[in-house]
A and B are shown apart, each in its own frame.
Chain A
Amino acid sequence: GDSVTQMEGPVTLSEEAFLTINCTYTATGYPSLFWYVQYPGEGLQLLLKATKADDKGSNKGFEATYRKETTSFHLEKGSVQVSDSAVYFCALSLYTGNQFYFGTGTSLTVIP
């Protein structure tokens, strides 16, 4: 079935380090792909999205490229800040029925 697999956490980085969080997907059709971020005590917020192969989503210094050949949508940031500490969720949606599938989340802690 349709699903998302993302790398296990937690991840701890020093400020200004490079971040990669891996995400791969399985889908029967041509999904849209998303990264959501969840800060403590809050709901999920959209971070970025890509709707077709080779699209690059970007926001707040984060980037992810929709790779159809490797069914991946890895999240990257060149220089993390303490304020980036949160849980990151990869998700896909299928046009049919607008259904969403989420990964299990990756907790990121950035230390000064």
Chain B
Amino acid sequence: EAGVAQSPRYKIIEKRQSVAFWCNPISGHATLYWYQQILGQGPKLLIQFQNNGVVDDSQLPKDRFSAERLKGVDSTLKIQPAKLEDSAVYLCASSPQGADSPLHFGNGTRLTVT
């Protein structure tokens, strides 16, 4: 099966600019996650979708971050305006519905804010 696709792989922007990341999950996976991974740390959940509804966005900085999941499939994560501390790898993951299902991760987008 095709894996989780993310684009772009790398992005460099200046602070106060905006940026968007795209994710296409594995076909049929109901749950989609966006994680932020700062260098040397574990992934931190930003937002979790179940189909096209939000399950958990408690750690999403809503003043600058937004995310949507179009028709319960693809998803975009946007940052506007970006800050230096947003430099990180943004990982998308998907999971089929059901207990004990593992996450399947994309390769991530490495964002550098200068």
Contacts and interface: CB of A to CB of B under 8 A. Distances in A.
Contacts of B106: 43
Given A36-B105, A93-B100, A103-B42, 4 more contacts: A32-B100, A43-B93, A43-B106, A98-B101
Contacts of B45: 99-100
B99 to A, nearest CB: 4
A60 to B, nearest CB: 15
B103 interface: yes
Interface string B84-114: 0000000101010101111111111000000
A49 B48 CA distance: 21
Interface string A95-112: 101111011110000000
Contacts of B4: 43
B21 interface: no
Interface of B: 4, 31, 33, 40-45, 48, 50, 55-56, 91, 93, 95, 97, 99-108
A105 B89 CA distance: 15
Nearest to A105: B42
A28 B33 CA distance: 22
Given A41-B107, A100-B33, A100-B45, A46 B102 contact: yes
Interface in A38-57: 41-46, 49, 51
B91 A97 contact: no
Contacts of A102: 42-44
Contact of B108 (A43, A95, A97): A43
B99 A42 contact: no
B55 A97 contact: yes
B102 A34 contact: yes
A51 B19 CA distance: 38
B91 A32 contact: no
Contacts of B42: 89, 102-105
A43 B107 contact: yes
